[in-house]
Structure 1
């Protein structure tokens, strides 16, 4: 709670500071450029949130029941995923043990990491700017 109050106070102070700076640069002529106004509004205006509905009695009980059912569903999905990963790991481990018994050369080859470029780590990040090399 204190963190959100502090964050909102910082946001308001930043908003007022940027508003005073941007107001001096925003064109007031009709048909002028409104990009700075749009940027200011998107970045610094507080988000509008709908009021939280206070539930009482039977509606509160229904809500809590639905919440418990949803958490139970997510827990079952998580456990199912963990079981699936455990089965995959056991199958991979059994295959590696069998490979080690069958051929030492193939086993060592399976353990060596590829020398080729791996996609996520070494791929070039796409940018919107053109190349500097033409």
Structure 2
């Protein structure tokens, strides 16, 4: 969900865009209808009114909402447990490295301002080969293939 929708500034932004796009001399009732159609298609919000739920439908809706929140909470807890487990393993590995080799431990914790891991990697590209196309290429002659005459 965008920042405009969350803060309620979407309609204000749309109004400003509409004012900027509106021709100054054209009357509202006449003129080119294409601009009005474009404005309507791009900037009008569809009416989204929730029907009023009552009785069993309301109970079903609330049950589904609670189940969804429970599911999200379980996923969040699972993710947090996984991250906690990874952090403990990393911490144990760093402690073991500190005990075994002090030089490697210091090298592992140094943060260089000039070199970062993703930037060191060679990015995959889809550029053509620097040699280009081999125009003299001939397919190998297969001695077992029958010759057509």
Task: State TM-score, norm by structure 2.
Answer: 0.56
Deviates more, 1:10-19 or 1:78-87: 10-19
Distance 1:46-1:22 versus aligned 2 partners, 3 A rule: farther
Q: How does 1:15-34 map to 2 (within 5 A)?
A: 15-21=18-24
- In structure 2, the residue matched to 1:56 is 54
Please identify which structure carries the higher helix content.
1
Higher relative contact order (CA 8 A, sep 6+): 1
Could you tell me which residue of structure 1 aligns to residue 115 of structure 2?
116
CA distance in 2, matches of 1:96, 1:51: 56
RMSD: 3.6
Please state how far the C-alpha of 1:13 moved relative to its aligned partner.
5.9
Residues 74-101 of structure 1 show CA distances to partners (whole Å, capped at 9, x for unaligned) of 0000000000000000000000000000
Tell me the number of residue pairs that the alignment of Structure 1 and Structure 2 aligns.
Answer: 108
CA distance in 2, matches of 1:22, 1:89: 65
CA distance in 2, matches of 1:21, 1:94: 70
Unaligned runs of 5+ in 2: 1-6, 120-149
TM-score (norm 1): 0.62
Residue of structure 2 in register with 1:99 after alignment: 97
The residue that corresponds to 1:75 in the other structure is 73
Return the alpha-carbon distance in structure 1 between the equivalents of residues 13 and 84 of structure 2: 47
- How many angstroms apart in 2 are the aligned matches of 1:65 and 1:42? 36
Q: How far apart, CA to CA, are the structure 2 residues paired with 1:84 and 1:75? A: 14
Q: What SS does structure 1 have at the residue aligned with 2:53?
A: coil
Residue-by-residue CA offset, 1:93-113 (whole Å, 9 max, x unaligned): 000000000000110111123
